[in-house]
Chain A
Amino acid sequence: MIQLGKYCRGFRGGPSDMREVTDGIRERAGDDSLGTQTRLRDQTLPYRAVGRGDVSLSPTLVMVENSEQTMTKRKIIVLIFLPVLVFYVSLFLGRYTISPLDVVQILLSKIFPVEPTWPKTMEVVVCTVRLPRVLLAMVVGAGLSISGASFQGMFRNPLVSPDILGVSAAAGFGAAMAILLSLDSTMIRIFALVFGLAGVAMTYSVSRVYKTTPVLMLVLSGVVVAAFFSALIGATKYVADPYEKLPAITFWLMGSLNLSSINNLLSTVPVIALGSVGLLLVSWKINILSMGDEEARSLGVNTEVLKGVIIVCATMITASAVCVTGLIGWVGLIIPHIARMFVGPDHRRLLPASLSIGACYLLAIDDLARTATSAEIPLGILTAGIGAPFFAYLIRKTKGAWT
């Protein structure tokens, strides 16, 4: 009566197999009595534990229909609304207590004419202090994560982060030098940006052989350039005045969002947005590039142009993030992995997911940085200090199954 063996073969495969199975069951159940249907369902249930558990075999089998699509839709909804939620919560978190309702009213008053029922200070805190910082945290977190995800695909290496080409070390040296020369904060940013870009240009030119840039050469050159600039950072620290400048350099190198302002936001957002759009446009090509340079070329992909586009976009993003916030490590390394656990390895989904999760992560970390203690905690300490144990938990839990 029931060929259960046929239906349950290869069950470990996941949702799609599950759908096949239930399709089969429904077909049979259609021209059968209700009794059989119940029996079938009962006999299928134990296998739920074997599958990934993505599919809920609810009492009405019809609900299982297109469960895969429903899952994808649900994930998309989470990825869109999670950042909105974290954004909203972040605006009323902080030393200065503001009620969630006031936050909404203050924000709405910027668009619609609303009679203010709140003190002026509150509006200043929300709009001038918190809003730029919250938005900058989101944009930087999103930017670092999408560059990390793109680089991991391009370098075919899950250990790669956005600073693999030396952008962070070089930008760090630029900033340290500007601090050493007693320049103002605008000049510190410009120095960081220029040196960051120059560092990547150096890496690129060192790695160029026979008119190509093999991935391994890029990685090695990146390590060389980063080591060189790290040495220079060490040198600037060594000669810096230990009471004023050394702490400033150290603090900058640990990263912080406390310099956020509307101006910073306006200079950073367009660059990161542009870079992200560029990466999203080539996201399918990153899939192909991740199969290896030679294979990608055999499929007609101009790998040099493609790698150039990815490097330029990711460097634009990272350099403009680093020059405003200082060095924020670790985000660009782990967020792509978390995104991959969530949506799989296809870069067409991975890159948008990295944007969303990265924005949430850095914002949540920054909320912690500014609210946990009365003094602000440098971001670099928290991104790794919290991120590392959390990531350890995730890789233990999934046992590396997503790679």
Chain B
Amino acid sequence: MVASIRLENTAFSYGEKEVFLGISLEVHKGEMVSILGSNGCGKTTLLRCIQGELRLKQGRVLLEGKNLSSMTPVERARKIGMVFQEHSALFPYPVLEVVRMGRAPHLGFFARPGARDTNISEHALERVGVLHLRDKAYTQISGGERQLVLIARTLAQEPEIMLLDEPTSHLDFKNQVLVLKIMERLSKEGLSIVMTSHYPNHAFLFSSRIALMAHGKFHAVGNPDEVISPENLGAIYGMEVRILTANDPESGDIIKFCVPVRKDQAELTHN
């Protein structure tokens, strides 16, 4: 089976400043891959290279066997949907209008969305459970709702791949889980998902695979249980981390989670 996304020995640099080097990865249809790493390790840059916004300095990206650099922006937009982290809304468009913008890659330069595009957009809103927001002003809904609307807009693009840059970073506890659950469901419906994250625990709970990134390289790639270890997390974040397990008294499941070690406190009590 041809991989949805295949990165072959890719590298990128801003001028002289090298961002990442020698990164290879395969993402299969329906997989949900999380990229973990500290701030500034190049996660976002890597996503933007997979999306085609930035040009690789070396190596290549294949989407279902097709070279990304040979694709036009419209072809790319039909295959890949991107949910950005930084996003400032200025004009109070109705939510449905924002989602309809996702239809752009399927329409000509001077075209406007029609009834079919509206149906697809409404369906996209329904899939992420926010159809009731349809006529609300996009600037007046909450951050969590806005993130879901952006995911719906990306769905309206009808892509095969969805890239998300820290989709949970501005959300509260409940909305973080809500967004991730929806992403998990979408991946089970056949979407290939790559997202960056700052939360190892989220990656534990929801990812089918995890890539740990540090200093412009992949430190480790594999399933969450293998990859998330005190050693690996310690290496990429440069700090001591414990992985704890607990039995959920309700379900009896074993839950794994990681917590940072409060070294300063330990030192204080010793002294």
Contacts and interface: CB of A to CB of B under 8 A. Distances in A.
Interface in B147-204: 157
User: Max chain A CB contacts within 10 Å: which of B88, B90, B110?
Assistant: B90
Given A300-B74, A346-B93, A292 B53 contact: no
Given A13-B135, A281-B110, A292 B105 contact: no
A222 interface: no
A351 to B, nearest CB: 12
B92 interface: yes
Interface string B85-105: 001111111100110011011
B73 interface: yes
A16 B93 contact: no
B157 A299 contact: yes
Interface residues of B, number: 34
B219 to A, nearest CB: 28
A345 B51 contact: no
Contact of B109 (A285, A294, A297): A285
Given A287-B101, A297-B73, A299-B77, A403 B51 contact: no
B82 interface: yes
A158 B90 CA distance: 9
A81 interface: no
A301 B109 CA distance: 8
Given A282-B110, A346-B97, A301 B92 contact: no
A301 B111 CA distance: 12
Contact of B73 (A16, A302, A402): A302
A295 B88 CA distance: 11
Given A13-B136, A345-B92, A346-B93, A295 B102 contact: no
Contacts of A291: 87, 89, 98, 101
A290 interface: yes
A153 interface: yes
Given A297-B53, A299-B157, A301-B104, A287 B93 contact: yes
Contacts of A305: 109
Nearest to A281: B110
A353 to B, nearest CB: 14
B189 to A, nearest CB: 21
A259 to B, nearest CB: 36
Contacts of A301: 73, 104
A300 B78 CA distance: 8
B101 A299 contact: yes
A284 B112 contact: yes
A26 interface: no
Contacts, number: 75
Contact of A156 (B76, B78, B90, B111): B90
Chain A interface size band reads: 20 to 34
A348 interface: yes
B66 to A, nearest CB: 16
A300 B104 contact: yes
A153 B135 contact: no
Interface in A316-347: 344-346
Contacts of A299: 77, 101-102, 104-105, 157
B91 A403 contact: yes
A16 B110 contact: no
A294 B48 CA distance: 10
Contact of B84 (A153, A287, A290, A298): A298
Contacts of B91: 153, 290, 345, 403
Contacts of B105: 299-300
A69 to B, nearest CB: 13
B92 A402 contact: yes
B101 to A, nearest CB: 5
Given A298-B51, A300-B104, A346-B93, A292 B157 contact: no
B113 interface: yes
Contacts of A285: 104, 109
A305 B77 CA distance: 17
B87 A292 contact: yes
A158 to B, nearest CB: 8
A21 interface: no
B84 A295 contact: yes
Contacts of B77: 298-300
A288 interface: yes
Closest 6 CB pairs between A and B? A300-B77, A300-B105, A345-B91, A300-B74, A299-B104, A16-B135
Given A153-B91, A291-B98, A403-B92, 8 more contacts: A288-B101, A291-B87, A294-B53, A297-B53, A300-B73, A301-B104, A346-B94, A346-B97
10 contacts: A13-B135, A14-B135, A282-B109, A284-B112, A291-B98, A298-B80, A299-B104, A300-B105, A403-B91, A403-B92
